[in-house]
Amino acid sequence: MDIRIVGAFGGESPAHRMTCFVVDGTTALDAGSLTRGLELEDQYRIRDIIISHSHMDHITSLPFLVENVFGRTEEALTIHCTRESMANIRKNMFNNDTWPDFTKIPEKHLPSIQFQEITAEVAFELRGVTYLPVTVDHIVPTVGFLVGSHDSAVLYTSDTAPTKRIWEIANATPTLKAVFMECSFGNAMEKIALISKHLVPTLVAEEVKKLKRDVPVYLYHLKPPHIGVIRKEVAALGNPNLGFLEQDRTYTYA
């Protein structure tokens, strides 16, 4: 299984690519920067988009992806998300005001996009990779994912405040190879982080204690003004397992 980091949300790049990972070239995990981070040819290969929650930095490229791939295939793009995220995306994005409702275009029986509802703790499979949504603690309904293939699994927390269930799932997964975890602000902004339900380095350290598996934990979602501080504060924690997702890198798990 290959996971390409199309948007780490926190790379120093001025392109400021938002949260988006692509699994095996065909499945997007969040859609913050599919159209900004992928060449057109690579955009045409995307068939399924799995959305963790309805915040803009995780969905903003959806309208442009639909436009870019429109007419390239008979099959609709499938957006997999919870019922709550689906309602938000329909209401705020594909609402015929912000962007056309592509679930009815070109016509209802042959739409450009279709929604597939997912449910927490009910795994689904796409092209040999399984995805288990797990509820985390964010200001809108949000799920992280355990992504598994063959003898490997990777845990993606999505955006969350301190949480519990996803660590139980991680600890019960012997094939776990890595964790992609959020860290949004520096320690001085812990109050803001907790109000907006995100993490800072000291909270990351507490979360990592809940993880009983000795695997690398790659941080993502560093808000650009705080990148320098976060990197320094994470280094000061002295935990050799803690690192940062690298923009544009592809992580391969056998």
Contact positions vs Zn ion (CB under 5 A): 55, 57, 159
Output the smallest distance, CB 147 to Zn ion, in A. Answer: 18
Distance, CA of 22 to CA of 98 (rounded, Å): 26
Distance, CA of 117 to CA of 127 (rounded, Å): 18
Nearer CB in complex with Zn ion: 173/182? 182
Output the smallest distance, CB 35 to Zn ion, in A. Answer: 17
Output the smallest distance, CB 142 to Zn ion, in A. Answer: 7
Output the smallest distance, CB 174 to Zn ion, in A. Answer: 29
Output the smallest distance, CB 62 to Zn ion, in A. Answer: 15
Distance, CA of 211 to CA of 215 (rounded, Å): 9
Nearer CB in complex with Zn ion: 57/233? 57
Q: What is the DSSP string of 67-79?
A: HHHTTT-SSPEEE
Nearer CB in complex with Zn ion: 80/223? 223
Which residues in 196-211 are b (16+ Cβ under 10 Å) and which e? ebbbbbebbbebbeeb
Nearer CB in complex with Zn ion: 40/56? 56
Distance, CA of 247 to CA of 254 (rounded, Å): 21
Asked whether the beta carbons of 219 and 154 are under 8 A apart, the reply is no
> Which tokens is 239 given?
């935990």
Nearer CB in complex with Zn ion: 160/173? 160
